Amino acid sequence: MGTRGEFKVAITKEDLVFAAAHFITFAGHRCEKLHGHNYRASLLVEGGLEKDSWFVVDFSAVKKVMRALTAELDHRVLLPRDNPKLAISEENGSVRVAFDGEPRYVFPAGDCVILPIPNTTVEMLAQYLAGRVRAELRAMHLKSIEVEVEENFGQSASYRETLD
């Protein structure tokens, strides 16, 4: 009887960070004030060994992907495109945000990232980043991808998806 095992590889480097501003909407008619966090992202992947290399993933390739993704969010205002309580429009180099029909913010467009998520919670940020990592690493034979996003020390969420 043989043994079976799986490999998990973690990437939790000190430079996988992004400082960003955000706000979230709550149940009812509440919207918190704009504020910021020094976010940290980490990645855990599972998979078999690549033939001839004897590793699951090339660390340098994965770090490059994660650094690029966190750089896209760094020093930006994170806005949730799919939030039904928000109206986000971009015109003449500005992004306008209205909450429940009332104007709330105007930002320079270059300072914003409009994300395809319903709210800028750490849960949704982790899911968004996992999808982006999946798209970037699609050529690798991975069984799962898990991304954790921490907004403060001891406050984080992770999202794990199993791949076919």
Q: Which amino acid is at 123?
A: E
For the stretch 34-63, pLDDT in tens is: 999 999 999 999 998 888 889 898 899 999
Confidence of residue 28 (pLDDT cuts 50, 70, 90): confident
Q: Residue 44: beta bridge partners?
A: 10, 146
pLDDT averaged over the chain?
A: 93
Is residue 86 within 8 A of residue 25, CB to CB? The reply is: yes
Say how far apart CA 163 and CA 145 lie, in whole Å.
8
Is residue 128 within 8 A of residue 158, CB to CB? The reply is: no
- Most confident stretch, 14-18, 109-113, 152-156: 109-113
pTM of the model: 0.93
Residue 27 clears pLDDT 90, i.e. is over it: no
CB atoms within 10 A of CB 39: 22
CB atoms within 10 A of CB 63: 16
- Percent pLDDT > 90 in the chain is 78
Lowest mean pLDDT among 48-52, 93-97, 103-107, 119-123: 48-52
Q: Which amino acid is at 34?
A: L
